[in-house]
């Protein structure tokens, strides 16, 4: 068992694997590139990984996410996908 898995169990946390990502941490990421990457294989029941901090990302990359979110949310709504917090997934 990996250290992360061991620590997760020890803390009583439930691991949630992500099913797609925006590659938003890259310095070359733009709101459009994040949208394209996320929606390329978007399907219901998934978890999208986005970063809200620069601690492991290119400086200012959190701004890229803020720029991409409105369009991502619109795309999900138009596709009939519900967006919400993990706690609403019944975990």
Confidence of residue 88 (pLDDT cuts 50, 70, 90): confident
Q: What mean pLDDT comes out for the span 25-43? A: 91
Query: C-alpha distances in angstroms, 35 versus 28, 47, 65, 80?
Result: 14, 15, 9, 17
Q: How many residues does the chain have?
A: 91
Residue 31: per-residue pLDDT: 96
Can you give the residue ranges of every domain in the chain? 17-89
Residue 64: per-residue pLDDT: 93
Query: C-alpha distances in angstroms, 23 versus 6, 11, 14, 35?
Result: 27, 28, 24, 10
pLDDT of 68 higher than 90: yes
pTM for the whole structure = 0.79
User: Quick one: fold of 17-89?
Assistant: TIM Barrel (3.20.20)
Residue 91: per-residue pLDDT: 55
- Percent over 90 (pLDDT), the chain: 38
d(CA 25, CA 36): 15
């Amino acid at each position: 068992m990996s250290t992360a898995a061991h620590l997760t169990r020890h803390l009583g946390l439930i691991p949630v694997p992500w099913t797609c990502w925006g590659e938003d941490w890259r310095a070359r990421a733009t709101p459009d590139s994040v949208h394209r990457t996320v929606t390329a294989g978007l399907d219901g029941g998934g978890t999208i990984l986005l970063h809200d901090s620069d601690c492991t990302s290119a400086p200012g990359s959190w701004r890229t996410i803020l720029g991409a979110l409105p369009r991502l949310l619109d795309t999900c709504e138009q596709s009939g996908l519900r967006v919400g917090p993990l706690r609403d997934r019944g975990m």
